[in-house]
A = this chain, B = another copy of it.
Amino acid sequence: MTQAMRLLGLDWGTTSLRAYLFGARGHVLDSRQGPWGIMALPAPAAEGGFDQALAQLCGDWLRQAPGLPVVAAGMVGSAQGWREAPYLECPAKPAALAAGLATVRARDGFTVHIVPGMMVPGALPDVMRGEETQIAGALACRPELETRAGVRMILPGTHSKWVRAEHGIITGFTTCMTGEVYAALMRHTILGRLMPEGRDAGAVDWAAFEKGLAVASDERNGGLLTTIFSARTLGLTHKLAPAQLPDYLSGLLIGNEIAAMQRMHPGASDAPILLIGAEGLVQRYAKALPVFGLAGAVLDGATEAGLWRIADMAGIITS
């Protein structure tokens, strides 16, 4: 490693652990991913499972750079994580995330700084862990957003997050369980029976997807509990081929999500909605938003930018 190592950043979720090695000014020198999510550690937590996972993925880096600061975001800070980092309530600035870091002492003596999740309080509370770091990163990547009102972001995934920011303050967010509901419907209801097994996740049938969006965009078709049944009847009546049904259902669900979020928070801004997440998924949202009169703009690198920014604001990066 010819460049100085300045920070180890961890995106540590339920099912995977991703590590970013940063050099000067937040430049990513290297990154790695392992399967050791907090529910899939190499040993039980009480027997040093977190230490072992970190050593297996990043042990060489930590030996090469003694004293390298470590910051981690995601479910690692939950009650089931390495150390609980209590939720920070909205509204809050990214600086409050830096001020709220929890710490845990690793087996080898170094400190791991854990980013708090965020919560929307109220009668129906909402929570997130990990996405707050991506949001801080997005605001850092686009400094002009720090002065703007009505900033909206979507972080699609197992639990999609729709985020609102005003003048650099994260004012609120809403979770949609779209990805998890899709998986449960495909694998554990009658809808999966007409669908082919082991579909190629890479090849999207855009026509089927857009048909799903169109059905979801018309309220006269009834709500989600009804329209999803058409992912069966259109197969039974041979109006869609079995291979089209998964993307049709995906369009129904993503369309339903967008329509509901638009009704809940009618757009306060004409600016495009920032789309942050895995490439295949943000492509679907970028296609879907215009059907509902909205526009999306894809933003990459938010996680890395957020880990660096929070560590920087917390003053834990050695210069």
Contacts and interface: CB of A to CB of B under 8 A. Distances in A.
Interface of A: 124-127, 159, 174-178, 180-181, 183-185, 187-190, 215, 219-230, 233-234, 236-237, 239, 253, 256-257, 259-261, 263-264
Contacts of A125: 230, 233-234, 236-237, 239
B225 A127 contact: no
A177 B260 contact: no
Contacts of A222: 174, 176, 260-261, 263-264
A261 B223 CA distance: 8
A177 B223 contact: no
A253 B223 CA distance: 11
Contacts of A221: 124, 264
A189 B215 contact: no
A190 B14 CA distance: 11
Given A174-B226, A219-B264, A223-B224, 19 more contacts: A124-B233, A125-B234, A125-B237, A126-B230, A174-B222, A175-B229, A176-B222, A176-B229, A177-B229, A178-B225, A181-B228, A184-B184, A184-B185, A184-B188, A223-B223, A224-B224, A225-B253, A225-B256, A226-B264
B159 A177 contact: no
A77 to B, nearest CB: 14
A236 B127 contact: yes
Total copies of this chain within the assembly: 2
Closest 7 pairs (CB-CB, A-B): A223-B260, A176-B225, A184-B184, A222-B264, A125-B233, A184-B188, A124-B230
- Which of A181, A185, A261 has its CB near the most chain B CB atoms (within 10 A)? A181
A223 B125 CA distance: 15
B184 A259 contact: no
B187 A226 contact: no
- Which of A177, A221, A259 has its CB near the most chain B CB atoms (within 10 A)? A177
A208 to B, nearest CB: 14
A253 B181 CA distance: 13
Given A228-B177, A260-B225, A127 B190 contact: no
